Chain A
Amino acid sequence: MTDDAKRSGLSRRSFLRGGAAGALSGGLAAGLLTGEAAGAAAATDAEAPDTVGPGPVEIELEVNGATRRLAVEPRVTLLDGLRDRLDVTGPKRVCDRGTCGACTVLEDGRPIYACSRLMIESAGRSITTVEGLGSPDAMHDVQQAFVENDAQQCGYCTPGFVVATAALLARHPAPSEQEIEAGLGGNLCRCGTYKGIRAVVEGAGGGGVSGG
């Protein structure tokens, strides 16, 4: 089995069992929209089928370095889970269809659209959002470069662009035009901040900005 395969399907069940036990002992993340928590059908039964849901499922994942446990319906996207259940609101919901990139987060270091991933698929994985890269008092180099190049106006696309840019530069410290297109072509801005974003990315080759 590959690592990915181990993380999906059957092998997740044993993980889910562990998560549920944690929840029962009081470790459940304080859901902001908590209606489903009480009815959480924990997948702890040894006779449980190989499917989960449609009711809430106990899961555990790492978000910005902290272990979070929560009960969430399988249909809930990673994005809605982060925003609605965990109050991690850096990633934004804009298109909700894998087009605009405003919800971009890192999953085990790889950029993904959080709107196009079910939260239970991220169980056992490590999620880094824009808040996990740096804070206003200790910004990541990419975040600092966004400020210095005025690569943001209203700022609603910015969290996704910052994460995508950090991922791009981590992979390609001095990206080619094709690498820029591949790395940032999946993010959209409405205010028109591309000039600044391009300056961030192209300035990176000069040594000012490092990725990841």
Chain B
Amino acid sequence: MADYSWPEADRRALIGSRPARLDGPVKSTGFAKYPSDQNPSGLLAAKILTCPHAHARIVGIDTSAAEAMPGVRVVHVIQGEGSEIQWAGDEIAAVAAVTEEVARDAVRAIRVDYEVLPHFVTEEDRDGAPDARAAGERAEGDPDAAFATAHRTVERTLGMPQMAHMCLEPHGQVCSWDGDELEVHASTQAVSTLAGQFATELGVPASQVRIRTEYMGGGFGSKFSPDRWGIVGAELARKAGAPVKLFLERDQEVTVAGSRPSAFARIRAAADEQGRLVAWDSDSWGSGGLPGTGQTPLPYVFSRLPNRRTRHTSVPTNLAGSRAWRAPNHPQACFLTMAVLDDLADELGLDPIDFLERNLDLTGRADTYREQFAIAAEMASWKERWQPRGRTREGAVHRGLGVSVHTWGGRGHSSNCDVTVHPDGAVEARIGSQDIGTGTRTIVAQVLAETFGLELNQVRVSLGDNVYPQSGPSGGSSTVGGVTASTRRAAQDALREVLVHVAPRLEAEPEQLVAGGGRVFVDGDSSRGMSWREAAAQIGGAPISVQGRNPGPGRLISSGVGGVQIAEVEVDIETGVVHVERVIAVQDCGLIINRRLAESQVYGGLIMGVGYALYEEWIPDPVSGRLLNADMEFYKLAGLVDVGSLEVHMMTGPGYDERGVIGLGEPPVISPGAAISNAVANAIGVRVPYLPLTPDRVLDALAGRGGPA
């Protein structure tokens, strides 16, 4: 039975080091061709007509004027007469034309008559919702008795709205048919699974659908499916007999192509005189648009809290359905829980870190959190600088510190990888994965080069194409574990085959040989060896090709991580403006393949976190049912100067490395909302109950008004 493992720490040349991402130069020079950059010969441009009403029935549709326009090649009705439309922005018809401008003209020329129906888009008003439905109730212990005898209890109503994924490259694709073979350049997180979904809808075998995604401009959980516009794009291309580019306009991207569900809750939590949590009661609700939402995992992290009752209500709205947003459900559950626990600590007169530490046995990873609290507190000089609420001020500007903890799984997904060693010494990996900006291409190359003892530039990695062996969609922090495990297994097997051929030449057993420093040699006697090129020449005329799979044997990956974050803010109590001064993140993720890319993931999570803590929200208009900010002027992302100083500490080395590779994309984005909200409460002395922490909400809280969500 072959052994699959990572090299010991003193034998790692590349794993755990900081090489620059391999596709850095093509990206920073603009030479990288994204799906939206593909301009095949004869290309047509497509645009979609969307519904302006949040709820309506189509009474009539007339496309004749559009069809008669010069330059228009195909007009395709997506939802015709009699269709009931459930959200503004839903797709009604599409046009393929010789230019984008003509396609837009044609879309405007389509006449649709609607019967406008009543809509509901403001789910924070649960009582006003027409279709709110109970979505689960759980109880454990005796919460009523525990609250009755508790030392201190807090009760809060808190919430955070729906927000957008806001991928910079919009959703879309370029579709080209050659006979009944379809090629799709798709901006997707799921190269290997997309073909089957296109095939089913289009009535062609999946074997005739090619998906290509060499680069893509961000997904964050919203790009797993062909979507309706993908199928429509393929239909337009088939009807036109020409390639069709269809990417959403920005207003469509914001409105229909991805949002994170909202979460609101009325929560009571109680502790005893020792600062031990004894009771929890939460009544939560939220919406992910028309489908509503599932249960938010409360209480978060401190999930073994005794005497708890949780109720959840799903509130459907006339808004497009939500999608998985980086760490689904966790940022919401984290904010709702950590804000209440922070308020309870204040009620108890305890330092929040002290309070959380007293309750770590209610979490799944007490030792990790304890170690992380110590490191984070040290980085923040917490002991010297933290003060009880509202005591740190200079004139109108108040400063505060806040803390939060989070958890995530991150187990590697199903993945197959082909590794080939050529007789000339060339080594390559082919894998049907995708690099969504996380650095997948680079880490696969590191594993490959490490295994064969080569430099990074001596190996080749091909991905982003479904002709390569299937590898899972990039979601849930599952990619790094999946692709490194399948690559390592294939590479170790391929190397063993090479060593069998090399061993007789070195008068050794294959098991005695190792690869390193561009050579193959007898372990412990490097003089008995040969160059890698010479070693590869021993395999004969045909290359060695091996497939590695995940899951599989050997302890290469695992799951389950913890993280602690501390935020420091300044709040101007006259203007209500919050500025994040500093965010500290202490994070574990098992064995780190590339330190530089791992840190980038954490920085990115913190920056996205500052965005949703301070700026980002969908603002639906209750009157029209449309989003008031389906753009980038009024849907605010954090900018370069908004994010303060960011400091990251990765937990590595003994005790962490042995766990193998664990994903990292999700965890760092979970805590910022809670940590920043807690820092604001620490600064101004009151809880601002809703995210994002906009000036109006801060001023409402200071004035003693709960304020609108």
A residues sitting closer than 8 Å to B (CB atoms) are 32-36, 73, 75-76, 80, 83-84, 87, 89-97, 99-100, 102, 129-131, 133-137, 139-140, 143-144, 146-148, 150-159, 162, 177, 180-181, 184-185, 187-198
Contacts and interface: CB of A to CB of B under 8 A. Distances in A.
Contact of A191 (B23, B28, B32, B604): B604
Interface stretch (B529-537, B639-647, B680-688): B639-647
20 contacts: A32-B43, A33-B100, A36-B71, A36-B99, A84-B39, A89-B33, A89-B34, A89-B37, A95-B633, A97-B250, A97-B633, A129-B30, A131-B30, A153-B218, A153-B600, A154-B169, A154-B218, A157-B168, A188-B168, A192-B603
B20 A195 contact: no
A197 B607 CA distance: 13
Interface string B202-226: 0000000000000111101000000
Interface in B382-440: 436-439
A177 B641 CA distance: 9
Given A92-B169, A152-B28, A153-B438, A190 B637 contact: yes
A195 B631 contact: no
B622 interface: no
B27 interface: yes
Contact of A155 (B220, B437, B596, B640): B437
B604 A156 contact: no
**Interchain residue pairs A-B with the least CB separation, the first 3:** A90-B30, A35-B98, A192-B607
A37 to B, nearest CB: 10
B632 interface: yes
Nearest to B247: A93
Nearest to A135: B29
Given A36-B98, A155-B217, A194-B643, A147 B24 contact: yes
Interface string B426-467: 000000000011110000000000000000000000000000
A99 B168 CA distance: 12
A194 B607 contact: yes
Contact of B98 (A34, A87, A180): A34
A49 B555 CA distance: 77
Contacts of B34: 89, 92, 156
B608 interface: yes
B641 A190 contact: no
Instruction: Name, among A76, A154, A158, the residue most crowded by chain B CB atoms within 10 Å (CB to CB).
Output: A154
A96 B641 contact: no
Nearest to B648: A195
B31 A148 contact: no
Contacts of A80: 100-101
Contacts of B354: none
A34 B215 CA distance: 27
A102 B218 CA distance: 14
Instruction: Name, among B170, B216, B596, B641, the residue most crowded by chain A CB atoms within 10 Å (CB to CB).
Output: B641
B36 to A, nearest CB: 8
Contacts of A184: 640
B249 A73 contact: no
Contact of A158 (B28, B41, B604): B28
Contact of B633 (A83, A99, A139, A196): A99
Contacts of A139: 25, 28-29
Interface residues of B, number: 64
Interface in B356-394: none
A3 B172 CA distance: 42
A188 to B, nearest CB: 5
Interface in B583-607: 596-597, 599-600, 603-607
A136 B33 contact: no
Given A99-B632, A99-B633, 11 more contacts: A33-B43, A33-B100, A92-B36, A136-B31, A152-B21, A154-B216, A162-B28, A185-B640, A192-B607, A195-B643, A198-B640
A94 to B, nearest CB: 5
Contacts of A187: 639-640
Interface in B1-52: 20-21, 23-34, 36-37, 39, 41, 43-45
Contacts of B638: 194
A91 to B, nearest CB: 8
A197 B640 CA distance: 8
B631 A99 contact: yes
A25 B321 CA distance: 54
The secondary structure that dominates the B interface is loop
A149 B600 CA distance: 10
A150 B21 contact: yes
B102 interface: yes
Contact of B28 (A33, A147, A192): A147
Given A130-B30, A155-B437, A95 B640 contact: no
B632 A84 contact: no
B499 interface: no
Contact of A35 (B21, B99, B596, B640): B99
Contact of A92 (B26, B99, B168): B168
A34 B41 CA distance: 10
Contact of B30 (A34, A159, A185): A159
Interface in B601-638: 603-608, 631-633, 637-638
B166 interface: yes
Given A94-B632, A133-B29, A156-B217, A87 B608 contact: no
A192 B608 contact: yes
B27 A158 contact: yes
Contacts of B564: none
Contact of B641 (A133, A143, A148, A181): A181
A156 B169 contact: yes
Interface in B83-101: 97-101
B167 interface: yes
A32 B39 contact: yes
Contact of B27 (A95, A129, A152): A152
A131 to B, nearest CB: 5
Given A150-B21, A152-B28, A96 B249 contact: yes
Given A146-B24, A155-B32, A190 B166 contact: yes
B38 to A, nearest CB: 8
A138 B597 CA distance: 24
A73 B101 CA distance: 9
Nearest to A89: B37
A94 B168 contact: yes
Interface string B641-675: 10100100000000000000000000000000000
Contact of A146 (B28, B31, B632, B643): B28
B100 to A, nearest CB: 6
A137 B607 CA distance: 31
Contacts of B632: 94-95, 97, 99-100, 188
Contact of A134 (B29, B45, B217, B637): B29
A206 B305 CA distance: 53
Given A150-B600, A155-B27, A192 B606 contact: yes
Contacts of B218: 153-154, 156, 190-191
